[in-house]
Amino acid sequence: MISRLKWRLHGYNRFHFYLFETPFRTAKPYSSSRSRKFIGHSKLKIIVCIRRVPDTATRIKIAPDNRSIEMSDVEYVINPYEEYALEQGVQLKEKHGGEVTVLTLGPEKSTPMIQKALALGADNAIHLKSNNFPDDPSAIARALAAELKNHQFDVLLFGKKGVDDDNHQVGEMVSELLGIPCATQVVKLEIADGKAFGTREVEGGSITVEISLPAAFTGEKDLTVPRYASLRELVAARKKLITIKEPQPFPALLETVSIQYPPPRPQGRIIGKGVEAVPELIKVLHEEAKVI
Amino acid sequence: MVQGPVLVFAESLGQDFRKASLEAVTEGKRIAGIVNTSLVAVAIGNGIKDRTSYLGAYGADTVLVADAPELKTFHPDYYRTVGLEAVRKVNPGVILMPATSSGKDLAPRLAIHLNTVVATEATKLDVEHDRLVATRPVYAGKAFLRVTMKSSPFIATLRPNAFNAKQAPSSKTPHVEELQFNKPQSRMTVHEYHAHAGKKMDLTEANVIVSGGRGMGGPENYKILEELAETLGGVVGASRASVDAGWRPHSDQVGQTGRTVSPTLYIACGISGAIQHRVGMINSKVIVAINKDPEAPIFGFADYGIVGDVFQVVPALTNELRRYLGK
| Residue B42 C-alpha, separation from nearest chain A C-alpha, in angstroms | 20
Q: How many CA atoms lie within 13 A of A143 on its CB side?
A: 26
Instruction: Determine contact, residues B260/B123, Cβ cutoff 8 Å.
Output: no
Q: What is the DSSP string of A103-134?
A: EEEE-GGGHHHHHHHHHTT--EEEEEE-SS--
Q: What are the E-state strand segments in B106-257?
A: 118-122, 124-128, 131-138, 143-149, 154-158, 175-178, 188-195, 208-212, 235-238
Residue A20 pLDDT greater than 60, yes or no: no
Taking contacts as CB-CB distances below 8 angstroms, the residues of chain B near A202 are 74, 100-102, 193
CA closest to A138 among chain B residues = B117
- Measured at the CA of B204, the angle between CA A263 and CA A161, to 5 degrees, comes to 80
Q: Which of A207, A217, A186, A210 is nearest to A196 (CA)?
A: A210
Q: Which of B251, B234, B257, B256 is nearest to B269 (CA)?
A: B234
Cβ of B50: how many Cβ atoms within 10 Å?
10
Measured in whole angstroms, the distance separating CA A167 from the mean position of its chain's CA atoms is 11
Interface probe, candidates B118, B235, B252, chain A, greatest A C-beta count within 10 A: B118
CA closest to B122 among chain A residues = A167
pLDDT at residue B205, rounded to an integer: 86
| Residue A240 C-alpha, separation from nearest chain B C-alpha, in angstroms | 30
Record: contact B119-A81, CB cut-off 8 A = no
pLDDT at residue B326, rounded to an integer: 84
pLDDT bin (cut points 50, 70, 90) of residue A18 is: very low
| 3 state DSSP class of A96 | helix
Record: contact A32-B118, CB cut-off 8 A = no
d(Cα B136, Cα A165) in Å, to the nearest integer? 10
pLDDT in tens, A190-241: 999 999 999 998 988 899 999 999 999 999 998 999 999 999 999 999 999 9
- Measured at the CA of B97, the angle between CA B94 and CA B101, to 5 degrees, comes to 145
Q: Is B218 on the interface with A (CB under 8 A)?
A: no
Taking contacts as CB-CB distances below 8 angstroms, the residues of chain B near A275 are 308, 312-313, 316
Residue A288 pLDDT greater than 50, yes or no: yes
* Domain B6-178 and domain B203-325 have a common topology: yes
Q: Can you list the alpha helix ranges (DSSP code H) found in A35-157?
A: 80-96, 111-119, 137-148
Q: Which of A72, A143, A66, A69 is nearest to A103 (CA)?
A: A143
| Residue B89 C-alpha, separation from nearest chain A C-alpha, in angstroms | 16
CA closest to B232 among chain A residues = A292
d(Cα A246, Cα B16) in Å, to the nearest integer? 49
- Count CB pairs under 8 A between chains A and B: 289
Kindly tell me the sign of the dihedral angle through the C-alpha atoms of B189, B193, B197, B203.
Answer: positive
* DSSP 8-state class, residue A78: E
d(Cα B307, Cα A274) in Å, to the nearest integer? 6
What is the H or E stretch that residue A17 is in? helix A9-21
| Residue A264 C-alpha, separation from nearest chain B C-alpha, in angstroms | 9
Taking contacts as CB-CB distances below 8 angstroms, the residues of chain B near A170 are 108
pLDDT bin (cut points 50, 70, 90) of residue A37 is: low
Global ipTM: 0.89
Of all residues in chain A, the percent with pLDDT exceeding 90 is: 77
- Measured at the CA of A80, the angle between CA A76 and CA A83, to 5 degrees, comes to 105
pTM tops 0.80: yes
Q: Is B327 on the interface with A (CB under 8 A)?
A: no
Record: contact A137-B117, CB cut-off 8 A = yes
Instruction: Determine contact, residues B100/B20, Cβ cutoff 8 Å.
Output: yes
* DSSP 8-state class, residue A226: P
- Nearest CB neighbour to B105, from listed A172, A251, A265: A172
B205 phi, psi to nearest 5 deg? -105, 0
Instruction: Determine contact, residues A264/A29, Cβ cutoff 8 Å.
Output: no
Q: pLDDT (tens digit, 0 to 9) for every residue of chain B, 327 residues total?
A: 789 999 999 999 888 899 999 999 999 999 999 999 999 999 999 999 889 988 999 999 999 999 999 999 999 999 999 999 999 999 999 999 999 999 999 999 999 999 999 999 999 999 999 899 999 999 988 999 999 999 999 999 999 999 999 998 876 799 999 999 999 999 999 998 888 876 667 898 899 999 999 999 999 999 999 999 999 999 999 999 999 999 999 999 999 999 999 999 999 999 999 999 999 999 899 999 999 999 999 999 999 999 999 999 999 999 999 999 887
Measured in whole angstroms, the distance separating CA A16 from the mean position of its chain's CA atoms is 27
d(Cα A227, Cα A87) in Å, to the nearest integer? 7
Taking contacts as CB-CB distances below 8 angstroms, the residues of chain A near B302 are 268
Q: Is B303 on the interface with A (CB under 8 A)?
A: yes
Window B:12-31, CB contacts with A under 8 Å: none
Taking contacts as CB-CB distances below 8 angstroms, the residues of chain B near A253 are 116-117, 149-151
Q: In terms of C-beta density within 10 A (0-12 exposed, 13-18 middle, 19 or more buried), how is residue B311 classed?
A: middle
| Residue A20 C-alpha, separation from nearest chain B C-alpha, in angstroms | 19
What is each CA distance from B64 to A46, A53, B30, B93, B175, in whole angstroms? 40, 41, 19, 17, 9
Taking contacts as CB-CB distances below 8 angstroms, the residues of chain B near A261 are 143-144
* DSSP 8-state class, residue A69: B
Q: Kindly report each contact of residues A106-109 with a partner whose C-beta sits within 8 Å and lies 24 or more positions away, as own/partner.
A: A106/A51, A106/A52, A106/A130, A106/A133, A107/A131, A109/A52, A109/A76
Instruction: Compute chain A's Rg from CA coordinates.
Output: 22
| 3 state DSSP class of A98 | strand
Pairing status of strand B131-138 against strand B6-13? unpaired
Q: Can you list the alpha helix ranges (DSSP code H) found in chain B?
A: 19-34, 52-57, 76-90, 101-113, 223-232, 240-244, 275-281, 310-325
**Amino acid (one-letter) located at A18:** Y
Pairing status of strand A205-212 against strand B188-195? antiparallel
| Residue B7 C-alpha, separation from nearest chain A C-alpha, in angstroms | 20
Q: Inter-axis angle of helices A278-287 and B310-325, to 10 degrees?
A: 50
Residue A32 pLDDT greater than 50, yes or no: no
Question: What is A5-264's CATH superfamily?
Answer: HUPs (3.40.50.620)
Give B83's strand partners. none
Instruction: Determine contact, residues B28/B94, Cβ cutoff 8 Å.
Output: yes
CA closest to B189 among chain A residues = A210
Taking contacts as CB-CB distances below 8 angstroms, the residues of chain B near A252 are 150
pLDDT bin (cut points 50, 70, 90) of residue A150 is: very high
CATH topology of domain B203-325: Rossmann fold (3.40.50)
What class is the B6-178 domain? alpha beta
- Nearest CB neighbour to A257, from listed B107, B112, B133: B133
Structural domain boundaries of chain B? 6-178, 203-325
Bond prior to B153 in cis (omega within 30° of 0): yes
pLDDT at residue A34, rounded to an integer: 43
| 3 state DSSP class of A216 | strand
pLDDT in tens, A161-196: 999 999 999 999 999 999 999 999 999 999 999 999
| Residue B116 C-alpha, separation from nearest chain A C-alpha, in angstroms | 7
